[in-house]
Amino acid sequence: MMTTLDKVRRLEQYVAVDSSAVDPVLDMTIDKLLAREIEHIRELKARLLDQIAEFEEHYILKSADFYTRYKNGEIGDAMDFIEWAATVEMLANAERRITLLERSPGS
């Protein structure tokens, strides 16, 4: 079974042979898939931001300050802190993924 990456590489090879022969439906389909993935990640980002806001309100501490102290071992390893740190990391990952998907080709 081919992985998604294998399929993308196969499609890239196909388009590289003669991009003028590519069906416009294929182009529209790829645009829709990218838009769908961006929307999915934006929804995830919104949920993560809500979770972070709850932590910040509960502990009266900004996530950036918390995360620095957490990484420096200054704040302990309570389950809430582990979850908060993971949420901060997941948010950063979601933001990187959105940036990657939204950037223009060649940039």
Say if residue 50's pLDDT is above 90.
yes
Domain positions in the chain are: 31-99
The answer to whether 63 and 28 are in contact (CB under 8 A) is no
Look up residue 62 and give its DSSP letter.
Answer: -
Q: Is the pLDDT of residue 74 over 90?
A: yes
Structure token pair of residue 52 = 């972070």
95 with 35: CB under 8 angstroms? Answer: no
Model pLDDT for residues 3-35, shown as the tens digit of each residue: 999 999 998 888 888 878 778 898 899 999 999
Q: Which residues contact 62 (CB under 8 A, 6 or more apart)?
A: 56
The predicted structure's pLDDT at residue 106: 63
Report the pLDDT averaged over residues 96-101.
95
